[in-house]
Amino acid sequence: MLVSNDIKITPTEKSRINEINWDTLVFGKEFTDHMLVMNYANGTWNAPEIVPFGNLALHPATSALHYGQALFEGLKAYRQVNGDVTVFRPDMNAVRFKESCERMCMPVIDEELFIQTILKFVETEKNWVSDREGYALYLRPFMFATDPYVGIRPSETYTFVIFACPVGQYYSEPVRVKIEEHYTRAAAGGVGRAKVAGNYGAAMYPAKLGQNEGFHQLLWTDGVSHEYIEESGTMNVMFVKNGTIITPTEESDTILRGITKRSVIEVAQHWGLKVEERKVSVKEVIEGIKDGSVTEMFGAGTAATIAPIVKLGYRDEVLELPPVETREFSNKVSQYITDIKLGKAEDIFGWNFKAS
Ligand SMILES: *Cc1c(COP(=O)(O)O)cnc(C)c1O
């Protein structure tokens, strides 16, 4: 089994870190000095290498560009208060990546190898992990089919890459979402559970329509009846209703199995709160906001972390949720998970993986 010491590193000649303006960082627009690349051919993964960040050369018939065998993951590295650099729950991303690969008929990457590549890469880029409040290093592992072949069949060659972006907060203001009742993000039996590139391309047009109406994101509903809430953009969605934490069940294969959401659930259960993962109807949420039983609504995702939702568009109405300062649970859980990531609270769940 390959270990991280076997990863060959070709360092960049000159780091670009001093060119970064940390005050004006835009999410996903700045990149670190290196990337990790690993190629699959002849039925096996070749040894990963860390090389200077740069363009990839692609054959015009590159299979992924035509037929969409392309997946990604997203996770973050943090600078702890003692100076250590840690990655939040990469073991969970490793499992999800593997499941996505299987669904897309792509070769899996052994979970341990996935974690090792992440940790070694973050160690290489550790100077980019800022200790500024709210900052992190966003990691983007992804994989795509590279056969130069126009026929439709699973590719026989693939490329896996990890690059990283120093990032600040994703949403700088509370979020406004709109319930979508016409377009569908994911259908039962489809690929909604996998972090497949095409899911996001397909969502852009409906999301744009929502943005034209002043919403940041859509709140997707099920593709059959549009009566049940699924998730929002790149976040899972959670509610607090009469003190119970409620979130749509992942049992259907139309919802991405978010690690942030899972972490919130695990903390809530640890605190002895009641958590329900079940079908959540649009009707229940609308009525609950109107009668005051739904006191909190928020998105949960790596990029946005915990994003309070303050406005919910539904048909011709825009419902207001209680002010963010009144939200006991989401504020507390958000702070606690942040404290764990930064080493300010004890990591009792074993979520931090040390990179350096
Ligand atoms: C990545 C993603 C999420 C959030 O998952 P995390 O593991 O918490 O980052 C939720 N929904 C979709 C569609 C996503 O792509």
User: Which residue(s) pair with 8 in the sheet?
Assistant: 49
Pairing of strands 175-179, 75-79: unpaired
Burial class (CB in 10 A: 0-12, 13-18, 19+), 329: buried
| Residue matched to tokens 């329900």 | 276
- Out of 235, 259, 305, mutate this one to test ligand 1's pocket (max ligand atoms within 8 Å of CB): namely 235
- Please tell me the residue having the least CA distance from ligand 1 atom 15: 234
CA 218–ligand 1 middle distance (angstroms): 14
Residue 171: predicted pLDDT: 65
Residue 4: predicted pLDDT: 61
Domain spanning 4-168: CATH 3.30.470.10 = yes
Q: Which residues of the chain have pLDDT under 50?
A: none
Whether residue 236 has its Cβ less than 6 Å from ligand 1: yes
Residue 129: predicted pLDDT: 98
Residue 356: predicted pLDDT: 83
Per-residue tokens: 342 = 């930064």
Measured from the CA of 96, which atom of ligand 1 is nearest? 7
Contact 289, 319 (CB under 8 A): yes
Domain chopping of the chain, boundaries: 4-168, 175-341
Question: How many whole angstroms separate alpha carbon 268 and alpha carbon 266?
Answer: 5
Domain 175-341: top CATH class: alpha beta
pLDDT of 299-315, one tens digit each? 999 988 899 999 999 99
CA 163–ligand 1 middle distance (angstroms): 18
Whether residue 166 has its Cβ less than 6 Å from ligand 1: no
Residue 314: predicted pLDDT: 98
Pairing of strands 244-248, 44-45: unpaired
Helical pair 111-124 and 90-103, crossing angle rounded to 10 deg? 130
Between the alpha carbon of residue 224 and those of residues 204, 235, 313, the distances in Å are 20, 21, 20
CA–CA–CA angle 274, 284, 191 (5° rounding): 85
CA 76–ligand 1 middle distance (angstroms): 13
